[in-house]
Amino acid sequence: MDRSNLSTSFPNGYVEVKPNWRERFEFFDKYGPIRTAEHRAALRQLSFGKKTFQLWNLLATLFGPFYYLALGMWRKALVLVAVEFGVIAAFFLLEVVTSTALLQAVWGMLFFGSIFLFGICANYSY
């Protein structure tokens, strides 16, 4: 692939990333961080598929911290794993202190929440 024409088309330094990541980065550059009003307004204008593409990463959801490690974001992977363990430990201590068992639905929500945490954080973290 000839990269000489890409450097003039994409001055933000996204030449070495894949086109999907370039599209995500350009969206962040144009509309700002996730929590800004401009970003939310721009997301509302997108189709469901494009909105999902901007907000969620399937590979990060499936592979979790290993995906982060593959991208070189090992610190972020450690922080997210620590947050997950902290939340799970807090709920476990709640069970022990109150001598009651939490519903399986609560543990299921914690499990799926920890999985989707990686998928939601990946696009903006990278």
* pLDDT tens by residue, 39-69: 888 888 988 888 888 888 888 999 989 999 9
Output the average pLDDT for the chain: 81
Written as six digits, the tokens of 13 are 């330094």
Confidence of residue 13 (pLDDT cuts 50, 70, 90): low
Residue, of 104 and 68, whose pLDDT is higher: 68
Rounded Cα distance between 17 and 68, Å, is 15
Contacts of 65 (CB under 8 A, 6+ apart): 77, 78, 80, 81, 118
With a cut of 50, say whether residue 121 has pLDDT above it: yes
- Determine the average pLDDT of the residues in 59-87: 91
- Determine the average pLDDT of the residues in 99-113: 79
Written as six digits, the tokens of 26 are 């350009």
